[in-house]
Structures are given as structure tokens and as C-alpha cells.
């Protein structure tokens, strides 16, 4: 079965430190990969996506993600965390063949400590 895993329910990081939120996937072929962020009582907002090309993708608010095909991972990173980055982050995958469906991970809550 196709799946997306976010192994950490919560990540705590000090303000100014680098952050990583992990995502691995089990989907055949060459899927499209996404990161979304959800602030309290809001819908999900798009951060970045990988379709093809450079393995390092840059997105909104200074976030970037690194695609690793051999490890089937798509980790979200930021060089210097801000308190305002505290939110719920979702990794999502869209298989490229034969479906419009998206598969979401369970989410990782990022807490940036002042």
C-alpha cells in the first residue's frame, strides 16, 4: 500500500537554530512531493513542491526541502527557525500515474522556542 510517513509527532527547536522535519514515502514511480503548513484554526497552506530537477527545492518563508530518491525521503529544512514557524506541517505525495489522489502524512507539530 502507498503511504507517507512523518516519524516525529513533534519537533522542538530553539529560535535561530536550524530545523528539519522528516518525511519518507512508499509510492511507486516518480511521485510529486509537497509540504504544507497549517496554523491553528486555519486551512493548509502550500509551502513547496518537488516535481523534477534539482533535488533541493526552495519554498515560501525561507523553507527548503531535499529530495532523496534512494532513501525515498523529502525532508523539510530551514537554516534559522523563527517562533512564528511554530505550526503543524504535512508532507504529501501525489502518485504520477493514473490518479488525482494525494496521500498525506500524519503531520509533525513544530515548536520553536524563544
Partner 1 sequence: NAGVTQTPKFQVLKTGQSMTLQCAQDMNHNSMYWYRQDPGMGLRLIYYSASEGTTDKGEVPNGYNVSRLNKREFSLRLESAAPSQTSVYFCASTEGPSTDTQYFGPGTRLTVL
What is the contact surface with partner 1 in residues (CB under 8 A)?
9, 32, 34, 36, 41-46, 49, 51, 90, 92, 94, 100-102, 104-107
Three-state DSSP class for residue 23? coil
* Min CB(76)–partner 1 separation in Å: 15
* Min CB(18)–partner 1 separation in Å: 25
* CA 97 to the chain's CA centroid: 21
* Min CB(36)–partner 1 separation in Å: 8
- Which residue number, 42 or 58, has a Cβ lying nearer to partner 1? 42
Long-range interactions of 45-49: CB distance < 8 A, separation 24+: 47/76, 47/89
- Which residue number, 75 or 104, has a Cβ lying nearer to partner 1? 104
* Min CB(104)–partner 1 separation in Å: 4
- Which residue number, 17 or 106, has a Cβ lying nearer to partner 1? 106
Upper half-sphere CA count for residue 8 (Cβ side, 13 Å): 16
Tell me phi and psi for residue 84, to 5 degrees: -70, -10
Contact 30, 97 (CB under 8 A): no
- Which residue number, 15 or 72, has a Cβ lying nearer to partner 1? 72
Assigned C-alpha cell, 2: 502507498
Amino acid at each position: 500500500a502507498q503511504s507517507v510517513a512523518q516519524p516525529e509527532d513533534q519537533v522542538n527547536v530553539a529560535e535561530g537554530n536550524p530545523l528539519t522535519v522528516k518525511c519518507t514515502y512508499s509510492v511507486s514511480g516518480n511521485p510529486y512531493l509537497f509540504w504544507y503548513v497549517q496554523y491553528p484554526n486555519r486551512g493548509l497552506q502550500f509551502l513547496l513542491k518537488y516535481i523534477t530537477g534539482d533535488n533541493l527545492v526552495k519554498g515560501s518563508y525561507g523553507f527548503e526541502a531535499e529530495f532523496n530518491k534512494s532513501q525515498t525521503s523529502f525532508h523539510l529544512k530551514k537554516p534559522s527557525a523563527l517562533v512564528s514557524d511554530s505550526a503543524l506541517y504535512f508532507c504529501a505525495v501525489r502518485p504520477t500515474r493514473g490518479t488525482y489522489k494525494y496521500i498525506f502524512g500524519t503531520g509533525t507539530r513544530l515548536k520553536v522556542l524563544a
